[in-house]
Amino acid sequence: MKLSKDYINLLPHAEAKAAVFFSPAFALAVLFVLLWLGLFGWQMEQARGLRKQLALIDANRQSLRQQVAALQKELGVAAPADMSPEKAALINTLISERVPWSAVFKQFSQIVPKGLWFDSLEGSAAGKAEIRVRGGAFNYLSVAEFMLAMDKTGYFENPQLSYAQKAVVQGHEVIGFEIVCGIRKMQRVQ
């Protein structure tokens, strides 16, 4: 049940509405909404700019990956597609620094003259790759031919004769020798 005071309004009808729209609380609410909308619009504009930059970066990354793949194909480097370029570069560096020992021994089998043999082969790939060959021969000429053949191959660098001396083994004169030389690493071998 309504009381009579609920029906009584001493202010004119138009003035009562104006008071509601121009109250300080309403003005603050409108100001807050406008500020919020402005900040939201500004944030959306920044997000759109960042999305454009991200799309550009992705396009550049894809282009660089294609260039790396093309270079790897041209250089004959086999790397899985999901491998990172840093890991592929590390693997290629390790491969290029290794010594192809099987190729070294194959070269030895092809250049050893008759009348020459090995007692020991000692190789080292740490730092500067080198090999130390100790053996024997029936004459000095075989040792010289072996050193000349080593020098002509693409696998050995600067063979040096440490010593060559006559010895008598089981009643036969033989020449004991030691040769030290560098070994070319994988990328320099022809």
Query: 34-77: per-residue pLDDT in tens?
Result: 999 999 999 999 999 999 999 999 999 999 988 887 877 777 66
- The reply to whether 128 and 169 lie within a common domain is yes
Query: Binning pLDDT at 50, 70 and 90, where does residue 107 land?
Result: confident
- Predicted local confidence at residue 49, as pLDDT: 95
- The reply to whether 77 and 105 lie within a common domain is no
What are the strands, taking DSSP E only, across the chain? 116-124, 130-137, 156-169, 172-183
DSSP state of 21: H
Q: Are 156 and 181 in contact (CB under 8 A)?
A: yes
Residue at which a domain ends, from 48, 77, 97:
97
- Predicted local confidence at residue 65, as pLDDT: 87
- Predicted local confidence at residue 76, as pLDDT: 65
Q: Is the pLDDT of residue 87 over 60?
A: yes
- The reply to whether 107 and 67 lie within a common domain is no
Give the residue with greater pLDDT, 153 vs 140: 140
DSSP state of 40: H
Give the residue with greater pLDDT, 117 vs 22: 117
- The reply to whether 92 and 118 lie within a common domain is no
Query: Binning pLDDT at 50, 70 and 90, where does residue 189 land?
Result: very low
Please state the rounded mean pLDDT for residues 103-111: 84
Q: Strand, helix or coil at 184? A: coil
Query: 34-44: per-residue pLDDT in tens?
Result: 999 999 999 99
Q: What CATH number does the domain containing 112 carry?
A: 3.30.70.2830
- Predicted local confidence at residue 43, as pLDDT: 95
Q: Are 135 and 108 in contact (CB under 8 A)?
A: no
- The reply to whether 90 and 103 lie within a common domain is no
Percent of the chain past pLDDT 90, that is, above it, reads 37
DSSP state of 9: -
Angle at 147 between CA 144 and CA 151, to 5 degrees: 140
- The reply to whether 71 and 89 lie within a common domain is yes
- The reply to whether 74 and 54 lie within a common domain is yes
Q: Is the pLDDT of residue 96 over 70?
A: no
- The reply to whether 88 and 115 lie within a common domain is no
* Structural domain boundaries, residue 28: 1-97
Q: Is the pLDDT of residue 154 over 80?
A: no
Edge-first strand listing for the sheet containing 130-137: 116-124, 130-137, 172-183, 156-169
Give the residue with greater pLDDT, 78 vs 55: 55
Least confident residue range of 114-128, 132-146, 154-168: 114-128
* Rounded distance between C-alpha atoms, residue 118 and residue 101, angstroms: 16
Q: How many domains does the chain have?
A: 2
**Secondary structure (DSSP) of 46-71:** HHHHHHHHHHHHHHHHHHHHHHHHHH
* Structure-block tokens of residue 47: 């997000």
DSSP state of 6: G
Burial 19-45 (b: 16+ CB within 10 A, else e): eeeeeeeeeeeeeeeeeeeeeeeeeee
- The reply to whether 176 and 108 lie within a common domain is yes
- The reply to whether 108 and 151 lie within a common domain is yes
Residue at which a domain ends, from 71, 97, 123:
97
- The reply to whether 119 and 92 lie within a common domain is no
* Rounded distance between C-alpha atoms, residue 77 and residue 68, angstroms: 10
169, amino acid identity:
V
- The reply to whether 36 and 103 lie within a common domain is no
Residue at which a domain ends, from 49, 76, 97:
97
